[in-house]
Chains A and B, each alone.
Chain A
């Protein structure tokens, strides 16, 4: 059992859980993920470790409410627990002295780049963050990144906060400006990462994408997370989850992510009829109101 120390909303459908997992916390490096099961009959899902504290033995998970499983996880509150947390899994991000690195995060992808920013900065890199969301409340971790990065550029689709437009448009501007960019690391929706790769490809800038395919075990055993990189089959759980963005077949990844869409829709419909869940979600929502709103 992994007790949840705190649970807060980062954005309307994005929950941050700080969870007891001392062994994982002790070994966590940026880029690692965990496989989580909320309840005994639950699904195993991979979640990036957004932060860790070896001393208090906790890890931070940022969860986007997207299907029934994540909706259940988002309804959890401090004092509740997760039955299973396995990890840290995957290869850590290859943190190098690149020079100037731009981190591009979209939605909850920002939680993936957050620990990378700290490690890159510690190695002396100039670190610029470009983070996006649909509108102001959907831009997450801006304040936290602001403490680490040399510059953070929030972007919103509707212009309600920061740059009015997509992260890729802001990225293109940065690539054309000074100081020159040596590497780009991106995490977020597949279509966004694909667009990032297209922006940097012509400029020959090394670009790394953190992929999020469907996974079951997370240890290489099932092969469900296979992705095509440079024409070769790779397993995101043991070979990744980060790969050279210019070699990733994003279209295939996007297509494979849709394999269980009808199952997911049915599962959410069933969940909507579960009075117990409704009650939990209500409790989790009320807690938003009682928490001070974060300045951003």
Chain B
């Protein structure tokens, strides 16, 4: 269906724009912001791809998706082939198509981006995954069983990816999830308006069709230990992907007032426990006219946009550096601004102030200036004396990072950790314990969904090799 275009003609096609729910409406509800591409849009966008002989974009993808391959199939209108190519490298494309930072991975390497706008790889990925979810229901062919059993600890992006890749190779995989619902950060952390839970549920269901078993409410380290899994429970290998763990607090006065949350708690109450459904939800969340969130990452952005949707006016984001240093995705910052989030950069909270009954009434902040570059290469923020001021709020959310969860590692003292309590692994992703692999945030600290998936994929290959099976497959 695509007629052959010259490169110069392709260059003239502008990058597709994603349809969005209007900012004024979405600031009041949790429906997904991005509406997806129509098929004509997707095909036209796909024809922009230059089909480079040596595509750089693939190297930018932590799971190595054959980007020109699936994009070409889209351009040719062959969506089943596009889906096959995509799923061959990525078991969760409906998720990565929504939450990956393509602008720093594949799209940043796109040759089109040198003179024009890069190809919208993420939008196309999402388009194909959504098409596959709605139109494909053929029975997945299961691989010949190998008789090898693998326990995967945690059902977040690293665990699910590893499980899918192993199941495809015929290994028997059980995923243990501590919470009552599979998905990890995809269901407790990332809000509905960025990643609808139904997408996660369907991607998990696909993995189950491949033969993956998921057991919820199993807290490895408490319910079972690694030794038990490798011993009595009869697993031949374990992949630990139990996530980042404990939220950090800034350590400022007033953090235990009522109305102060970690971003993890705030988002978990709203997302996993469904407090966004209204004041009648079984799990409550405190709402306020004023919500202040501290942090500059995607989690902070998710929290402040959640606060806005729960009725905050204003919902304010405070960050101690300038906007250029914010680690959050540009798209999220842009969306947040459209939704009326108030950004107060170079601002650092120094105290949470309460009323006489122990409820948050304001947060006292300090204005910062930019000093010399610090270890991260970013100019370090320096307090400006006498610049303190208050922002009125009833809810204060801290999104300032996490530290390693000790539950599993304490119960497995032989496991080698780094000085932050994260698990040490070799280049294959194996820990110092034979047959025990690890990946995702428990190895990296706080990182992204796609890096965790990359770890899961790498570990699956390494486990396959460890079993003495030929690589690949």
Contact = CB atoms under 8 A, between A and B. Distances in A.
Contact of A259 (B219, B222, B258): B258
A37, A43, A223, A252 — most chain B CB neighbours (10 Å): A223
Given A217-B268, A220-B407, A42 B280 contact: no
A228 B283 CA distance: 24
Contacts of B259: 259
Contact of B273 (A23, A44, A259, A266): A44
Nearest to A27: B223
Interface in A15-34: 23-24, 27
A226 B256 contact: yes
B17 interface: no
Interface in A209-250: 216-217, 219-224, 226, 228, 233, 235, 238
Given A217-B179, A235-B246, A238-B246, A85 B217 contact: yes
B327 interface: no
B283 A44 contact: yes
Interface residues of A, number: 40
Majority SS of interface residues in chain A? mixed
A105 interface: no
Contacts of B274: 41
Interface string A75-117: 0000000011111110000000000000000000000000000
A68 interface: yes
Given A220-B405, A220-B407, A258-B258, A43 B282 contact: yes
A86 B217 contact: yes
B178 interface: yes
Contacts, number: 113
Given A27-B222, A69-B282, A260-B284, A216 B405 contact: no
Given A220-B405, A256-B256, A89 B246 contact: no
A279 B60 CA distance: 60
A278 interface: no
A203 interface: no
B159 to A, nearest CB: 15
Contacts of B217: 84-86
Contact of B262 (A219, A223, A238, A260): A223
Nearest to B248: A223
A43 B273 contact: yes
A216 B273 contact: yes
Nearest to B259: A259
B218 A23 contact: yes
B247, B255, B405 — most chain A CB neighbours (10 Å): B247
B271 to A, nearest CB: 11
Nearest to A39: B282
B142 interface: no
Contacts of B243: 221
B258 A42 contact: no
A270 interface: yes
Nearest to A42: B282
B282 A222 contact: no
B113 to A, nearest CB: 38
Contacts of B145: none
A90 B44 CA distance: 56
Contacts of A24: 223
Contacts of B188: 217, 221
A221 B264 contact: yes
Contacts of B218: 23, 86
B274 to A, nearest CB: 7
A263 B259 CA distance: 14
A280 to B, nearest CB: 16
A89 B247 contact: no
A84 B180 contact: yes
B116 interface: no
A267 B256 contact: no
Nearest to A251: B358
A255 B258 contact: yes
Given A219-B178, A221-B247, A87 B223 contact: yes
Interface of A: 23-24, 27, 37, 41-44, 68-69, 83-89, 216-217, 219-224, 226, 228, 233, 235, 238, 252, 255-256, 258-260, 263, 266-267, 270
Q: Which 3 A-B pairs have the closest CB atoms?
A: A222-B265, A263-B284, A86-B217
Given A41-B282, A224-B265, 9 more contacts: A43-B283, A44-B283, A89-B222, A217-B179, A219-B219, A221-B268, A222-B268, A226-B249, A252-B256
5 contacts: A23-B223, A219-B178, A235-B246, A255-B358, A256-B256
